[in-house]
Structure 1
Amino acid sequence: MTDTDVTEIATQTMLVAAKVAAPILLTALLVGFMISLFQAATQIQEQTLSFVPKMIAVAIALLVTGNWVLSELISFTQQLFGELPRLLGQS
């Protein structure tokens, strides 16, 4: 396994992690932004008002995108295991 192989695997891993995390993070970001606008408009500064809707929205995003996330992770893992003989065969 060469340095190039390690760098390529690390790059692919970070891209898959970003793709898998994006729907959840974007959901939390959008819900948090909407709640911040609501709190600024109404001057209600309740802490649970921002936490509970974000938690519910993230749970819904996980339910909606769960199959896709799992298939992406399985695909990446199968690709990585498929490359093992090539990677271990090099000196």
Structure 2
Amino acid sequence: MLTPELAVDLVTDSLQVVMLLVAVLVVPGMVVGLLVSLFQAATQINEQTLSFLPRLMVTLLVICVSGHWLAETLMDFCVDIFRRAAQLVG
């Protein structure tokens, strides 16, 4: 039977996994965006496409490098959720 404590645990675990996966993808792009913005401010170059391409390349690189780990983390979480669901039913 699903108790409020179990529901809170499920929501907490799912939010932790989502924040971890999103942070791995977003933080490097934010850092590169900040560095490009500092470069643009220092050189007074106001080209919007200059900040887009480096962020895109870094995001794609992060996906290529950590894609296996991201998929493995998500699959482990899904297996854990199915195990918990089986325990709740039986």
Distance in 1 separating the partners of 2:86 and 2:71: 24
| 1:48 equivalent in alignment to 2:46 | no
Which stretches of structure 1, 4 residues or longer, exceed 2 Å deviation after superposition?
none
Stretches of structure 2 that go unaligned for 5 or more consecutive residues are none
Residue pair 1:28, 1:58 contacting (<8 A) in 2 also: yes
| 1:27 equivalent in alignment to 2:28 | yes
Distance in 1 separating the partners of 2:19 and 2:9: 15
What corresponds to 1:78 in structure 2?
79
Distance in 2 separating the partners of 1:86 and 1:23: 31
- Residue 85 of structure 1 and its aligned partner are, at CA, apart by 2.0
Distance in 2 separating the partners of 1:29 and 1:51: 11
Stretches of structure 1 that go unaligned for 5 or more consecutive residues are none
What corresponds to 1:60 in structure 2?
61
- TM-score normalised to the size of structure 2? 0.93
Residue pair 1:5, 1:87 contacting (<8 A) in 2 also: no
- Residue 54 of structure 1 and its aligned partner are, at CA, apart by 0.5
Q: Which amino acid aligns with 1:85?
A: A
Distance in 2 separating the partners of 1:54 and 1:40: 17
- Residue 24 of structure 1 and its aligned partner are, at CA, apart by 1.2
Q: Which whole-Å deviations, capped at 9, do the CAs of 1:18-65 have from their partners, x for residues lacking one?
A: 111112111111100110110011000001001111111101111111
Distance in 2 separating the partners of 1:58 and 1:85: 37
* Greater relative CO (CA pairs within 8 A, separation 6+): 1
SS at match of 2:20: helix
